[in-house]
Amino acid sequence: MSRAEMQALGWEQCDVIVVTGDAYVDHPSFGMAIVGRVLEAQGLRVGLIAQPDWHSADAFRALGAPRLFFGVTAGNMDSLVNRYTADRRVRSDDAYTPGGIGGKRPDRSVIVYAQRAREAYREVPIVIGGIEASLRRIAHFDYWSEKVRRSILLDAKADLLVYGNGERQIIEIARRLAAGERIEQLRDIRGTSFVRDSGAEQWIEIDSTHLDAPGPLSPPLDPYASSSNQSQSAPAAAAPASAGAQVVRFLRRVPNADRQRSVIRMPSYEQVASDPVLYAHASRILHMESNPGNARALVQRHATQDVWLNPPPIPLTTEEMDWIYDLPFARRPHPFYGDANIPAYKMIRFSVAIQRGCFGGCTFCSITEHEGRIIQSRSQRSVLREIENIRDHVPGFTGVISDLGGPTANMYRLACKSREIESACRRPSCVYPGICPNLNTDHAPLIELYRKARALPGIRKILIASGVRYDLAIESPEYVRELTQHHVGGYLKIAPEHVRDGPLSKMMKPGVGSYNKFKQLFERYSKQAGKEQYLIPYFIAAHPGTTDEDMLELALWLKRNGFRADQVQAFLPSPMATATAMYHSGRNPLKRISRDSETVIIPRGLRVRRLHKAFLRYHDPNNWPLLREALRRMGRADLIGSSRLQLVPSYQPPAAAAHAKGGGVRSTATRPALPIRTQHTGLPRVPTRLPARKPQRDRH
């Protein structure tokens, strides 16, 4: 991290310098730590510039020019999600900064850092990656500016973008640059994106509207008009047209022999920016082409340049996952920080990641777009070895592992029963609208891992803090028993998100019946173990497809079941998520897109979002004036009163009246996209606040 360290190691120059918006914690839950250790294992000298002062290029010259490239990331979280609430209010804290201090990274960190690195050393290649770059690899709706922005590659002026889990890509980039290739030659690496000035002649272009026709364009202009004298056997050279369109001959069907050299041309940036229906269409095509087994390259025109997306990276094998997590991580912050408290590290220092990826396909979640839907699992031997390493070497360990999990707790070693079916599948979810019959739901390997982990000498408790996918869990009652009786620290987080079919269908989440079945199993096994344990459900306010009536029904369900939300999660339209396409376009890209396809109700605007959050916090007197007004407007004044069957009382406490007069409803959320924290009124000793969700698992 410094010249002094380079001199102590005898380095004259770093091979690669990683720039990150997070403090440097050498722990496998931090992306830049994995990238650094992976490159180091290739024999490379890696420097790291953490949270640099971006107001000039001086901090980017601290370690000198790297021999191969700068690797730039915003960190474990998107910088805008990290900085702003779902209502676009500025946060005062940052869990990835020493002392939890906010404001130590710029908005749109990838763009700013990449430009400063270019200013520092103009000739050094710049490779951008991490979740902020990954979710902005094509034209995307930006919630913070309420407009469609072009690919981050163009704004960052980077040479290459790595999307998804980047170990394969970063190793190949480093190897080929070290062998003397120029960055402009690296155009065939899966999981990367780049800019080129024109189409490639050896590629066969497929019009995306042939795969999923959105209908006439608005304004009525055909961007794929063909000249009558062009041959149908090969694409013609691209020629610029108005509004960024091209005159190109596309093939409707490509023979299997030519599939590897086919590319899907999506509507241009200019078109999706001006036409929400085309934006929804482009989103649908992107998600259809996300399976590494059958995805084709995508290309999108931005003015006079093409942004090219190669197919997703091949998932890591168990052996490769083991190799990565067996690298010599120090599992603590860099000594540079001394005894400073880094909240994100404090929350995950005793946790172990056992898997990557998620096949749930929840539309509001960015995990699938970033990590993919194929589960990549470590071996039991590797996981147990890491637990022993924590026990023997991490300061402050008391015998409690805080989590064995990943994006979800219980997808370990779950996969399609057929490799052939898996490689051909284009379903966005393996568990919606029901669990696919081709999905293996056997939890036996995970149960065995739990048992072996808690049997290790010196291990007192193994907790499961990652969210449990309860519709999968009820397929294995033995797993629910094992989890409930041995791995719950009093409270277990699960995510129904809603109770009505309308919103749930737009989230691709199971109905409340699955929650009830899981709840019955959880309570039965807790009672058998003689333990007093409670479920902590998460719900989302203001998600696309949610009406005021839906939120009212959810509020009544919460009251009937005795739940009181401590913190509220409002929907945040993260870049590239399917629900974000709904939010922007008002269409449902889960179905074929056309001019007359299904429309989606969008709770838009601060007042509506506040109302939906108020329904979740129906018990807060500060929200009662807004709720009474809404109930009268909805014709449900019968729910105003002091009966246990009514939602809010007709009176107003003096303190709450003063608050309502001064500013109305306020959100109590303290982190982006956090689930609601609940308090069960009929149970003793339930805290008003529960431990926050681990930041590295943040769905956004």
CATH number at residue 405: 3.80.30.20
Quick check: helix, strand or coil at residue 571? Answer: coil
Residue 47 lies in a domain: yes
24-42 residue pLDDT tens:
999 999 999 999 999 999 9
Tell me, yes or no, whether 236 and 365 share the same domain.
no
Beta bridge partners, 297, equal 263
82-119 residue pLDDT tens:
999 999 999 999 999 999 999 999 999 999 999 999 99
What average pLDDT is seen over the chain? 88
Tell me, yes or no, whether 168 and 204 share the same domain.
no
Residue 100 CB neighbours (<10 A): 16
Percentage of the chain exceeding pLDDT 70: 87
Residue 126 lies in a domain: yes
Report residue 212's pLDDT band, with 50, 70 and 90 as the boundaries.
confident
Tell me, yes or no, whether 96 and 125 share the same domain.
yes
Q: How many domains does the chain have?
A: 3
Tell me, yes or no, whether 88 and 220 share the same domain.
no
If you compute the radius of gyration of the chain from its CA atoms, what whole number of angstroms results? 26
Tell me, yes or no, whether 247 and 138 share the same domain.
no
Residue 176 lies in a domain: yes
Residue 355 lies in a domain: yes
Tell me, yes or no, whether 245 and 381 share the same domain.
no
Closest CA to 476 of 417, 517, 527, 428: 517
Quick check: helix, strand or coil at residue 70? Answer: strand
CA angle 675, 678, 680 (to 5 degrees): 160
Amino acid 271 reads: Q
Residues 6 or more apart whose CB falls under 8 angstroms from that of 679 comprise 563, 564, 565, 566, 686, 687, 688
How far is 329 from 345, CA to CA, in rounded Å?
Answer: 14
Tell me, yes or no, whether 210 and 279 share the same domain.
yes
Residue 340 lies in a domain: no
Residues 6 or more apart whose CB falls under 8 angstroms from that of 211 comprise 264, 285, 288
Q: Among 66-75, 218-227, 309-318, where is mean pLDDT lowest?
A: 218-227
The residue whose two tokens read 């409002």 is 570
Tell me, yes or no, whether 387 and 521 share the same domain.
yes
Tell me, yes or no, whether 190 and 208 share the same domain.
no
Tell me, yes or no, whether 12 and 141 share the same domain.
yes
Q: Which domain holds residue 166?
A: 1-196+305-317
254-291 residue pLDDT tens:
655 566 778 999 999 999 999 999 999 999 999 999 99
Tell me, yes or no, whether 160 and 260 share the same domain.
no
The CA–CA distances, whole Å, from 518 to 497, 504, 575 equal: 15, 17, 32
Residue 89 lies in a domain: yes
Residue 327 lies in a domain: no
Residue 399 lies in a domain: yes
Decide if 667 contacts 613 (C-beta within 8 A): yes
Tell me, yes or no, whether 55 and 119 share the same domain.
yes
